[in-house]
Amino acid sequence: MRAFVNAAVWPELVAAPATEATRFHRTLPGYRPTPVHDLPALAGELGVGSVGLKDESARLGLPAFKVLGASWAIERTLGSRPDVVTLVAASAGNHGRAVAHVARQRGLRCRVFLPARASGARRTAIASEGAEVVIVDGTYEDAVAEASRAADEPAVAEIADVGASNTARWVIDGYATLFAELDSEPRPDVLLIPIGVGSLGAAAARYATRSGSRLVGVEPKTAACLTASLAAGVPTRVLTPGTTMAGLDCAEVSEAAWPTLRDGIHGTVCVTDDEVDAAVGELARGGLEIGESGAAPLAALRALLADGACVELRRSVGLDEESRVVLVATEGPTGREPRSK
């Protein structure tokens, strides 16, 4: 399925954005809002009012947004469990590195479980933060199960960004900071967000409901778990044969995120690895080094405006020549070497 229109949006059921995490993030050394780059040439080419790109390629010392959720979830965890000396997490790459980064800052040990198809560059990046890297012979979901089992050990806490745990909910709360920063910008009419397990999407839905923006989720065609779940009306697991969008290579939506996504997202667009590869190159030629997951919203915007399979969703979100569009580029080139311009 190329695009899906969510006819069951019910904004009254969507919670307000969290504010406590944003106050916490503003106290951290090195905190600053990430930029929104104006892309006037792209807007002119595509025939929309404006296109902004929220650039998460440098966030609190890391090349991805994930540290916002990880840092807040760790803060809340340590507040309730002062006995903890080791953090464990499952990851496709960026979440694990964020947990390892914050663990080192706070003097804690860390163990990160990665699926076998995680790239060598991601493994190395996590190890560089001082974490023990455990390769699981299986998928991301298998890595999640291994991390959960490891958390049964004494003085160990799991920092999960998927599931129904407190940390999964705190991660969503932590991502509110990214969208609070958009309050200083003109309100987007249409916001495009990479989905993955849906934690960032849930935070985006809270923001979009308050701001009146229309929210479109972006998924790989080979890992479209939210699209399948919205179509079925219940969380639905999909097969994931693999994608270059490693951070979005997820078979199921987080339980903590699902109700908000169900009620607050207006639709989804699925993109291919080839389309995203082209988007990475396009952004690099414009001076923006963005990874595959982060470039997916640009590929989705092009599909929304050009693909006949997206006409219904385009009309549903009111995307036209006056629309202000914001793309959230969630990562720098974290999985492979940056492209030369």
pLDDT at 277 over 60: yes
Percent above pLDDT 70 for the chain: 98
Q: Are 61 and 101 in contact (CB under 8 A)?
A: yes
Same domain, 51 and 97: no
Number of domains in the chain: 2
H or E element that contains 54:
strand 50-55
Q: In this predicted structure, what is the pLDDT of residue 193?
A: 98
pLDDT at 105 over 80: yes
Same domain, 201 and 117: no
Output the six-digit token pair for 115. Answer: 């699926």
Q: In this predicted structure, what is the pLDDT of residue 334?
A: 73
Nearest to 63 by CA among 121, 106, 113, 18: 121
Mean pLDDT within 269-274: 98
Nearest to 147 by CA among 87, 90, 197, 69: 90
Residue with tokens 């050009």: 306
Q: In this predicted structure, what is the pLDDT of residue 339?
A: 40
Q: In this predicted structure, what is the pLDDT of residue 93?
A: 73
β-pairing verdict for 50-55 and 132-136:
unpaired
Q: Given pLDDT bands bounded at 50, 70 and 90, which one contains residue 335?
A: low
Same domain, 251 and 191: yes
Q: In this predicted structure, what is the pLDDT of residue 341?
A: 33
Give the predicted TM-score (pTM) of the model. 0.95
pLDDT in tens, 51-60: 999 999 999 9
Q: Are 178 and 328 in contact (CB under 8 A)?
A: yes
Q: Are 81 and 106 in contact (CB under 8 A)?
A: no
Q: Given pLDDT bands bounded at 50, 70 and 90, which one contains residue 74?
A: very high
User: Per the domain annotation, does 19 fall within a domain?
Assistant: yes
Same domain, 105 and 23: no
Mean pLDDT within 116-125: 92
**Where is the domain boundary, 147, 170, 193?**
170
Q: Given pLDDT bands bounded at 50, 70 and 90, which one contains residue 92?
A: confident
**Where is the domain boundary, 170, 195, 221?**
170
pLDDT at 6 over 50: yes
Same domain, 196 and 130: no
Mean pLDDT within 172-190: 97
| Separation CA 45–CA 61 (nearest Å) | 34
CATH number at residue 117: 3.40.50.1100
pLDDT at 338 over 60: no
pLDDT in tens, 198-209: 999 999 999 999
Mean pLDDT within 246-274: 97
- Rounded mean pLDDT of the chain? 96
Q: In this predicted structure, what is the pLDDT of residue 209?
A: 97
Same domain, 87 and 128: yes
**Where is the domain boundary, 151, 170, 189?**
170
pLDDT at 337 over 50: no
User: Per the domain annotation, does 337 fall within a domain?
Assistant: no
Q: Given pLDDT bands bounded at 50, 70 and 90, which one contains residue 35?
A: very high
Same domain, 8 and 100: no
Mean pLDDT within 227-241: 97
Mean pLDDT within 152-172: 97
Q: In this predicted structure, what is the pLDDT of residue 81?
A: 96
The boundaries of the domain holding residue 93 are: 67-170
pLDDT at 256 over 90: yes
